[in-house]
Amino acid sequence: MAINADDPLVAAQAAAAAGEHAVAMELYEKLWDFPSAYAQARAGGDLPRALRYALEIGEAPAIEEVKALLTATDEGALAALDVLIKMRRHAEAAPIAEKLGDTTRAIDLYTRAHYELDAARLLEATGRDRDAGRLLERALDLASDGERAPIQLALGRILARRGAYPEAARLLQEARKTPALRGAAQRHLIGTLAAMGLRDGARDALLELRATDDTVPADLDTYLRAWRDEATERKTTRDREIVAGRYRLDRLLGAGASGRVFLATDEVAGRQVAIKMFFAAGARGGAAYERFVREARLASTLRHPSLVEVYDVSVERGYLVMEYLPGGSLAQRLAAGEQLAPVQVRRMALDIIGGLEAAHHRGVVHRDVKPANVFFDARGTAKIGDFGVAHLVDLGQTQTGGLIGTLAYMSPEQITGAPITIAADLYALGITLFEAVTGRLPFLGPDFVAQHLGEQPPAASTIGANVSPGWDPILAALLVKNPRERTQTLADLRRELEALDLGGRPLLGPRARRDSRPHSIAQLAEDPDVKPRYQFETPLGTTPISQLARAVDTVLDRSVVIERFDDSAEAEKAIERARLLGRAQSPFVQRALSLDRATRVAVFEAPSGASFADATPNLPPTETIRLLKRLARAAAAVHELGGSHGAISARTVVLDDGAVPTVMAAGLGPVLDSQPLDDVTAIIAIVATVAGCEASFAELARTVADQVSATVPPYKAPIDGESLYAAADALDIAVLAALGSR
């Protein structure tokens, strides 16, 4: 039949009268006449389109009728699911996805619809208790008073199954105040109280439950067996190896005679950790056990960005939980044949110096500095670990108990049993640096004792190819036999390393000489025969006093940020600030690679991640405090040099995927008058946005402590980076203690 194209309504009516339902449906849709389009879709048997039109007009009976017809078959259910998702009807789509067995999509749809209880139910069913717990915790924070009880019950049940009994008991007691949930909450509360050792309270709760349900066993132990069996059945295989109710063992990282180190997942804090487990914990008084106890006690009190951070310790249960460092150890790198570049060795040495200084200031000599105890995080920062043989300094006291440490790296005074001072760590660091620079030990053994006591080490430049002769006096001073004549302090060593010329030297034998390279970007531009080190520049933006670009460092194969300053007096101040920040030597301050005052060009290491302003993280309390401590360490490194950053903000703090911050040094713009307190205030404001509280340390501490039912410890009001770190550290200890008591 002919259809009048000039009048769509007439054309639609004519198509409908002629039984051309698809044509009529399309025409009515263009006219936004969805009731008529729905009628034509039903008449033509196009149920998916009928569902879409019913949703458009909001006809609940029509929606339910078409949904019922579609979901009668899997094919129809898939079509209905597609329509509902496109129409953003997530709450109606989720049950269909669940019915079809598409659990992953159902979880996502329930979450999008803010049906967190249903999403958590499916997460639990698939063994993802940790994800379910996190989802419910967020939901509880946003829930109104009338919505809290079911969430409290679900979260309390999960936490009880995970061994977090005090928090589970609190939630279950709140949930049982709602009459409809009283019985279910009471069932889990009985088991939780018993697990906490409160058997009298558990019996009372059991009697109360039996008053309304006489099918419940009267004997507490019988009830508990059934309760535990039910909890066990819900666990998947990956949930079974749990330490202390929170650390799920993932894989073995290393093993020794008395223990093993595992990569684990902290189910409470939601992060990867390394857990050292002492398997001879019953051997009280043995040498291995004493070493474990020493490490546990010392390591948990030492805090510094270049010391492996300890999160949790249990001497009774025989475990030590530390930060996981994916970069492995220096020993592993050397064993794999990796040759560290001179700049990498210096950076590593400066990191180690910072960690050892923190230990020495607390009166602790490590006594076992060696490549196996130097670890690297994902960003390449070196950290000292394993304080199992560390020694509390007592001048004039001689050693007891035989040789302690590793012979190939042991100082002469350790071998002879003479009094131990920080000089022992300087000697071992000298051995470690010699090996890192040359690829071999200065003394090859097998008689290490005789060699350490009576043999002079070779010059590093005669051993390693292309080793700068500048290393020779530094390493020789570290390896002097007499500790009184050795390099005296780590500060002295730092100054020597910072002044070290890492340029090339004339090579021996038939090897060809390298062409010397100019160091400044300006010189590179003027020399057409020299390939520029920094290539593939891409503009990043401008400040009122500079231009920024991203480029590739072709020598070290990394991304860098180049900042070119103008000739103004304001730019001169900014260059001076860049020089100050470059000297900070903190893993949490953007690293300055070069600064050419003549050409007014600075080169910085490009941080990975996104600015805080673009991606505010959602962190648990422990990670929130950790972020605060890291930012405090960044500020402290600048304040120790007598200056301040003055431009810390959400825009100038970058977070990587692990929520590790980098305070930017590039692109900060003109220098404003500032004091250390201004940096502290800015840091607290940033972290307060994560905690969701007012921008004061008192409010931040209270908010974080309340999340884990901890008590805010006494602290001094922070006025600079160091005092901010001290206050945050005290809060960290209180939060960890509260979590550990669960």
Residue 415 has φ and ψ, to the nearest 5°, of -65, -40
pLDDT of residue 742: 55
Confidence of residue 372 (pLDDT cuts 50, 70, 90): confident
CB 46 within 8 A of CB 15: no
**pLDDT, tens digit, 9 for 90 and up, residues 543-561:** 999 999 888 766 555 678 9
- Domains in the chain (CATH in brackets) are 8-234 (1.25.40.10), 329-498 (1.10.510.10), 521-605 (3.30.200.20), 610-740 (1.10.510.10)
CA distances from 91 to 107, 114, 121 (A): 11, 8, 15
pLDDT of 281 above 50:
no
Region 106-115: mean pLDDT is 88
**pLDDT, tens digit, 9 for 90 and up, residues 318-335:** 788 888 888 888 988 888
Region 227-247: mean pLDDT is 58
pLDDT of residue 43: 84
CB 36 within 8 A of CB 12: yes
pLDDT of residue 305: 79
Which residues have CB under 8 Å from 654's CB, separation 6+? 590, 607, 608, 609, 610, 611, 612, 661, 662, 664
Mapped onto helix, strand or coil, the DSSP state of residue 534 is: strand
Which one is predicted more confidently, 297 or 320?
320
pLDDT of residue 512: 32
Cα 342 from Cα 187, distance rounded (Å): 64
Confidence of residue 628 (pLDDT cuts 50, 70, 90): very high
pLDDT of 563 above 60:
yes
Cα 161 from Cα 228, distance rounded (Å): 9
pLDDT of 462 above 60:
yes
Which residues have CB under 8 Å from 112's CB, separation 6+? 90
Confidence of residue 230 (pLDDT cuts 50, 70, 90): low
Which residues have CB under 8 Å from 460's CB, separation 6+? 434, 437, 438, 442, 467, 471, 472, 475
Residue 593 token pair: 């690679």
**pLDDT, tens digit, 9 for 90 and up, residues 126-172:** 777 778 887 888 788 777 778 888 998 988 888 877 666 777 888 89
Which one is predicted more confidently, 279 or 176?
176
Least confident of 68-82, 244-258, 525-539: 525-539
CA distances from 328 to 274, 302, 432, 506 (A): 12, 21, 16, 34
Give, to the nearest 10 degrees, the angle between helix 129-142 and helix 116-125: 170
Cα 6 from Cα 341, distance rounded (Å): 78
Give, to the nearest 10 degrees, the angle between helix 116-125 and helix 148-161: 20
pLDDT of residue 667: 92
Which residues have CB under 8 Å from 134's CB, separation 6+? 270
Cα 656 from Cα 496, distance rounded (Å): 32
Residue 292 has φ and ψ, to the nearest 5°, of -60, -45
CB 386 within 8 A of CB 295: yes
Cα 519 from Cα 599, distance rounded (Å): 12
Cα 534 from Cα 513, distance rounded (Å): 23
Confidence of residue 406 (pLDDT cuts 50, 70, 90): confident
Residue 634 has φ and ψ, to the nearest 5°, of -60, -50
Region 12-34: mean pLDDT is 82
Least confident of 44-53, 54-63, 180-189, 296-305: 296-305
The amino acid that residue 258 corresponds to is S
Cα 655 from Cα 625, distance rounded (Å): 15
pLDDT of residue 339: 82
Confidence of residue 732 (pLDDT cuts 50, 70, 90): confident
Residue 294 token pair: 């020493």
pLDDT of 684 above 70:
yes
CB 329 within 8 A of CB 375: yes
Cα 202 from Cα 173, distance rounded (Å): 12
pLDDT of 697 above 80:
yes
Which one is predicted more confidently, 210 or 198?
210
pLDDT of residue 520: 36
Omega of the bond leading into 718 within 30 degrees of 0 (cis) = no
The rounded mean pLDDT for the chain is: 80
Which one is predicted more confidently, 682 or 421?
682
Confidence of residue 395 (pLDDT cuts 50, 70, 90): very low
**pLDDT, tens digit, 9 for 90 and up, residues 184-206:** 888 888 888 877 777 788 888 88
Which one is predicted more confidently, 354 or 164?
354
For residue 413, the Cα-to-chain-centroid distance in whole angstroms is 40
Which one is predicted more confidently, 559 or 352?
352
In the chain, how long is the greatest CA-to-CA distance?
Answer: 112
pLDDT of residue 241: 66
The amino acid that residue 513 corresponds to is R
CB 438 within 8 A of CB 464: yes
Torsion on CA atoms 203, 205, 207, 211, rounded to nearest 10: -170
Q: What pairing do the DSSP bridges indicate for beta strands 558-565 and 601-605?
A: antiparallel
Closest CA relative to residue 241, chosen from 267, 223, 259: 267
Buried b (16+ CB within 10 A) or exposed e, 485-496: ebbeebeebbeb
Which secondary-structure segment (H or E) carries 495? Answer: helix 490-498
Which secondary-structure segment (H or E) carries 249? Answer: strand 247-255
Q: Give the residue carrying structure tokens 């993932």.
A: 250
Confidence of residue 296 (pLDDT cuts 50, 70, 90): low
Cα 247 from Cα 266, distance rounded (Å): 5
Region 392-413: mean pLDDT is 56
Number of neighbours of residue 481 by Cβ within 10 angstroms: 15
Region 670-674: mean pLDDT is 92
Residue 354 token pair: 């910072």
CB 670 within 8 A of CB 544: yes
Cα 569 from Cα 232, distance rounded (Å): 70
Which residues have CB under 8 Å from 400's CB, separation 6+? none
